[in-house]
Structure 1
Amino acid sequence: MKDKNKKRLLENTLFLYALTFSGYFFSLITVPYQTRILGPEFFGKVGFAVAMMTYFRLVIDFGFILSATADVARNRESQQQVAKIYTAVMYAKGLLTALSLVVLLVICYVVPMLRQDMMLYVLTFASVAVSAFLPDFLYRGLETMKRITIRTLIIQAFFVLMIFLFLKTPQHYYFVPLFTLIGNAVALLFVQHHVSRHLKIKFVRLEKGYLWETIQKSSPFFFSRIAATIYQVTNTLFLGLMYSPGNAKVGMYVASDRLVGTAKTAFSPLADSLYPYMVKNRDFRLLKKIIFIIMPPVILGCIVLGVYANEFMALFLGPAFYDAGAVLRLLLPIVAITPLVYMLGFPTLSPMGLAKHANLSTIVSAVVQLIGLTILFLTGLFTVQTLCIITVFSQFTVLIYRVIIVWKNRHIFTQKESIVDVPQV
């Protein structure tokens, strides 16, 4: 039984990697083309819009990717219960999307800088909102990723091709969110068909209070995820508001941050697929093996990339982005510690009964980040370089916090590891 669970974990991890990383991969392969066509200024505009919409994406997701995944994993033997979870989450996302759209329109109307590019922000919001309705939590909890992954990959590849075919001048920058929206919409239609016809999961009537209970249960995960994203999103927003979204400095930072974010997502599917597995099996030995295997090559890769950062950025994104290598070099420590941050988060702390500390660690990090930004502004020391330094420091705060919690509670870790070794009768 244990071997069967591990085989299922491996297959789910591989397909979750493909599904999660494909979006970033297809986005990444278009980045060199976008940077050459749009240049730092217009690329910065698109990056600013994406950063702004990330907040709305977090509101719409509301932490369901963690709370609902765990609920589905625990109840996947009951199709009726899974259908209730699925219905509640999708209804909740609908309500949060409507609320977010109203807020966005008000902000765009009030802020002249945003009102001038309203189509860009509305299209970017639409692409993000549609993507948020893809029920990743359902497939992760059920650990059945194969069919949906293959279909989504084909659809995403087709619409990435559209960007290469139609994006020809800087003035076409709105094509980036437009084709992303179309691709996400078609993918969502296929996914809903698969959920209804093949998984036999349909919308059901919810008893009074169940929807609110679902939202309330997920709220700690929401605050954790928005805190974890503050550094990445807020940095771009601060730069855009300080220099204007079309400033070359914003484009340089966005390009570097996009690469760092993509590198981080290389570890996210592994942690995400381990999460439901660890909730059910608590196999800490496997967790330790994975950490010891992936950390050395990650650290070595960051060192090599740091040495040749400027040359890499010029080769990958074009000569205009040569100076962005200095920004990338400062942000690389974040990539180096990401596997540990992810693995010591929910996959470790949840089965130890300490999930609240995974949330608290990101909140503490966000507070450190905001305090650091405030100090930089008040002292007149705010630059792209000092921003990167504060960001790296705040991310190390997450790691240090989680290491301390795991170490202080290592007796729980040892006890539950021994439980895994007890033969199943």
Structure 2
Amino acid sequence: MKDRRKLIGNIMSLFTLQGANYILPLITLPYLVRVLGPERLGLIAFSQAFIQYFVVITDYGFNLSATRDISKNKNKKEAINEITSAVIVIKSSFCIIGIIAILLITTFIESFHKNQTLYIVVYMTVIGSTAFPLWLFQGLQRMKQITILTIIARIITTASIFIFIRDKNDYIYAAFIQSSTMMIAAIPAWFLILKENNHAIIIPKFKAIREQLKYGWHIFISTSAINIYTNSNIFVLGLTTSPDLVAYYSVANKIIGAILGLFQPIITGLYPHVSTLTTQSKSLAKSFTKKISPYFLLFGATLSVITYLFSPSIINIVAGNKYYSSIDILKALSPLPLLIAIGLMYGALTMLPFGMEKPFSRITIMGAIIDISSIYPLTHYYAANGAAIANVLTEVFISTAMIIYISKQHKKRRIL
């Protein structure tokens, strides 16, 4: 009963955290789309999509792999210190390499050079992601404090948008403010974890670093593949179309992202719990996931129906009548909540906790290949709507492939 209360408390904290991450930026979106205009908003969206590749590299799947590792060693202080220090070394190294890469790309490639300042400013997102120890708090299942810190940081950046952004020429400042949230939250977060939990940063052994790279590898490949088919659509639109079309797609994508964000606190709270259950009894873990599955899928289906039916009203409220083109894009993206619910249920809450990282990686890599293969012809013929169609088709494949794989494992009795 105590564990259940703690689990529910962590999920509620994560819901609050996710709400801050998605709802507060949505508060500023109506203001930004009107002040900056489609062209400047499109430039910011393209730069954020580009920099997101570096975020994925520095994260290296640690939000799942390190979370799982820490949750399994949560009563072993020395082990947690070793894991934490190894993860910090890896993430910091990748972040520094990324800075060098950004400077080289924006200096020597002309199409990137003209907006070099924007890309460098948005790289603050990578630095913040590197510094923010979400994976550590998740593994320790102590989310309340970091939730408060994140909300405070989001409130600061949200208020700053309204205070400092006055016209379309302030788009660099807008990008900087949006990219600095995690950095603002990271400093007090580390103070809390080092002081209150009596943990320390040490010089990790090479073996510990190698183990974390090994543990996170398949999840890294998976998250990289996922990033390709979720993030590359904006990136490809930016390369092949105008900033205006990128802005129309970006508005719809941010809205669907906020809706999909409702799943994240549930998954983040349940994942370490299911991982712990698998170490105790695989049949117990299976029973738990089977029990929650219908509610999870019903939640996804409900969100999809609501998104489709109310797309015109949502776009009009968030972006205004100048973004009428975003309505069809949002409708095209509306199946995603149900598809993502299926993928998370069979993937993050079944395949990964049960040690099926390799098939999980193969499925997501195939999904990325499908997206890359379809995105160019679809955007050529259908522009921004084509990007949305490519996204949905990819998720259909991934969800179906996971269902088929898990069904086969049940028949072979490999999931007890």
TM-score range, shorter chain: over 0.9
For the 8 Å contact 2:236–2:376, the answer to whether it is kept is: no
Range moving further from structure 2, 168-177 or 12-21: 12-21
Please list the CA deviations of residues 196-227 of structure 1 after superposition, one character each: whole Å capped at 9, or x if unmatched: 10111111122233323322331211110010
For 1:25 and 1:131, the matched residues in 2 are separated by 19
**Correspondence list, 1:146-161, <5 A:** 146-161=144-159
SS in 2 for 1:168: coil
Please list the CA deviations of residues 229-285 of structure 1 after superposition, one character each: whole Å capped at 9, or x if unmatched: 1122111111111124xx311110111111112211210221122111111114333
**Correspondence list, 1:65-144, <5 A:** 65-144=63-142
Kindly state the Cα deviation for residue 194 of structure 1 after the two structures are TM-superposed. Answer: 0.5
**Correspondence list, 1:334-345, <5 A:** 334-345=336-347
- What is aligned with 1:57? 55
- What is aligned with 1:271? 267
**Correspondence list, 1:314-393, <5 A:** 314-376=316-378, 381=381, 383-393=383-393
Range moving further from structure 2, 77-86 or 298-307: 298-307
**Correspondence list, 1:381-420, <5 A:** 381=381, 383-410=383-410, 416=416
Kindly state the Cα deviation for residue 171 of structure 1 after the two structures are TM-superposed. Answer: 0.8
For 2:376 and 2:410, the matched residues in 1 are separated by 36
* Amino acid of the structure 1 residue aligned with 2:393: F
* Amino acid of the structure 2 residue aligned with 1:115: H
Kindly state the Cα deviation for residue 299 of structure 1 after the two structures are TM-superposed. Answer: 2.0
* Amino acid of the structure 1 residue aligned with 2:262: A
RMSD: 2.0
For 1:164 and 1:32, the matched residues in 2 are separated by 11
For the 8 Å contact 1:310–1:323, the answer to whether it is kept is: no
- What is aligned with 2:220? 222
For the 8 Å contact 1:39–1:320, the answer to whether it is kept is: no
SS in 2 for 1:409: helix
* Amino acid of the structure 2 residue aligned with 1:338: I
**Correspondence list, 1:274-289, <5 A:** 274-282=270-278, 283-289=285-291
For the 8 Å contact 1:346–1:355, the answer to whether it is kept is: no
For 1:191 and 1:63, the matched residues in 2 are separated by 20
SS in 2 for 1:381: helix
For 1:415 and 1:303, the matched residues in 2 are separated by 33
* Amino acid of the structure 1 residue aligned with 2:8: L
**Correspondence list, 1:115-264, <5 A:** 115-244=113-242, 247-264=243-260
Q: Give the TM-score normalised by the residue count of structure 1.
A: 0.91
Does residue 304 (structure 1) correspond to residue 300 (structure 2)? The answer is: no
* Amino acid of the structure 1 residue aligned with 2:109: V
Range moving further from structure 2, 96-105 or 23-32: 23-32
For 2:375 and 2:299, the matched residues in 1 are separated by 32
> Aligned match of 1:43 in 41, 44, 50?
41
Aligned-pair identity in percent equals: 24
Please list the CA deviations of residues 167-195 of structure 1 after superposition, one character each: whole Å capped at 9, or x if unmatched: 11011011223223443322111011011
Kindly state the Cα deviation for residue 406 of structure 1 after the two structures are TM-superposed. Answer: 1.3
* Amino acid of the structure 1 residue aligned with 2:371: Q
SS in 1 for 2:123: helix
Gaps of 5+ in 2: 279-284
Range moving further from structure 2, 396-405 or 286-295: 286-295
For 1:162 and 1:97, the matched residues in 2 are separated by 26
Kindly state the Cα deviation for residue 374 of structure 1 after the two structures are TM-superposed. Answer: 4.9
Please list the CA deviations of residues 13-51 of structure 1 after superposition, one character each: whole Å capped at 9, or x if unmatched: 111222234222221211111111112111111111110
Indicate how the Cα distance of structure 1 residues 7 and 312 shifts in structure 2: closer, same or farther if over 3 A, else same: same
For 1:157 and 1:215, the matched residues in 2 are separated by 35
For 2:375 and 2:165, the matched residues in 1 are separated by 36
For 1:353 and 1:312, the matched residues in 2 are separated by 40
Kindly state the Cα deviation for residue 364 of structure 1 after the two structures are TM-superposed. Answer: 1.2
For 1:302 and 1:210, the matched residues in 2 are separated by 43
For 1:186 and 1:316, the matched residues in 2 are separated by 26
For the 8 Å contact 2:92–2:130, the answer to whether it is kept is: no
Kindly state the Cα deviation for residue 323 of structure 1 after the two structures are TM-superposed. Answer: 1.8
* Amino acid of the structure 2 residue aligned with 1:250: V
Indicate how the Cα distance of structure 1 residues 322 and 373 shifts in structure 2: closer, same or farther if over 3 A, else same: closer
- What is aligned with 2:282? none
Indicate how the Cα distance of structure 1 residues 134 and 237 shifts in structure 2: closer, same or farther if over 3 A, else same: same
Gaps of 5+ in 1: 417-425
* Amino acid of the structure 2 residue aligned with 1:275: Y
Please list the CA deviations of residues 294-344 of structure 1 after superposition, one character each: whole Å capped at 9, or x if unmatched: 433432342233133233212221111122101110111112221121121
For the 8 Å contact 1:108–1:115, the answer to whether it is kept is: yes
* Amino acid of the structure 2 residue aligned with 1:306: Y
* Amino acid of the structure 2 residue aligned with 1:77: N
Kindly state the Cα deviation for residue 146 of structure 1 after the two structures are TM-superposed. Answer: 1.2
* Amino acid of the structure 1 residue aligned with 2:301: I
Q: Give the TM-score normalised by the residue count of structure 2.
A: 0.93
For 1:88 and 1:335, the matched residues in 2 are separated by 35
* Amino acid of the structure 2 residue aligned with 1:401: A
* Amino acid of the structure 1 residue aligned with 2:263: F
Kindly state the Cα deviation for residue 73 of structure 1 after the two structures are TM-superposed. Answer: 0.9
